A and B are shown apart, each in its own frame.
Chain A
């Protein structure tokens, strides 16, 4: 069953703008991860944030986690056309040895 819910489910922006995606989940977690999927291919791991972390950066990506609200956000700054993809949040109750529970996903379109 899906745990994470991404919001919005589709977003269309212009190149150079920032894109923010939100994710909510229902149960306690060990970590939350964000993935990108291009055109129905395999998933690419973007970033992992642990339950005791509040914010994490990786290049143009910024992830926040609010465990009290059971929510996370992914910010992509200075977006590029190549960022066009579907983005998923996924939660795990422990690190590496348990299944991931995925949200519904969000389709981001970055127009050149």
Chain B
């Protein structure tokens, strides 16, 4: 199964600033997924990142707020821009395999 290294694991950020989250996969994968999990809630997909093309965003999420890079088949970044306290959440990356999906360990973001 694929192993994902996600960092940072947690951060406390000032409002108005930006944070970039990185995910490194130990094998080449076509698609990577970025999810947000608000406190006490389930996971909501932010966007799907395909190598070599622009990410596809879900309703309610825009590229200006959550720019994503996917420079190669093993790496992706998600930036949370111009943060507000409402962005305080856990952010997770994921890759899909035929038998299931593997998730990074998550980034717990607190915006103050």
Contact = CB atoms under 8 A, between A and B. Distances in A.
Tell whether A pairs with B.
yes
Interface string A87-100: 01010100111111
Interface of B: 6, 30-31, 33, 37, 41-45, 48, 58, 90, 92, 94, 96-106, 108
Contact of B98 (A96, A102, A104): A96
* Interface bracket on A: 20 to 34
A-B interface, 10 closest residue pairs, ranked by CB to CB distance from nearest? A96-B96, A42-B105, A45-B100, A43-B103, A102-B43, A42-B103, A102-B42, A48-B100, A42-B106, A99-B45
Interface in A80-112: 88, 90, 92, 95-105
A88 B92 CA distance: 15
Interface of A: 2, 33, 35, 40-45, 47-48, 88, 90, 92, 95-105
A98 B99 CA distance: 13
Given A88-B42, A99-B48, A45 B104 contact: no
A24 to B, nearest CB: 14
B45 A100 contact: yes
Contacts of B103: 35, 42-45
Contact of A43 (B45, B58, B92, B96): B92
B16 to A, nearest CB: 25
B48 A2 contact: no
B106 A48 contact: no
Contacts of A43: 43, 92, 94, 103
Contacts of B30: 97
B42 A105 contact: yes
A95 to B, nearest CB: 5
B42 A103 contact: yes
B105 A97 contact: no
A3 B56 CA distance: 20
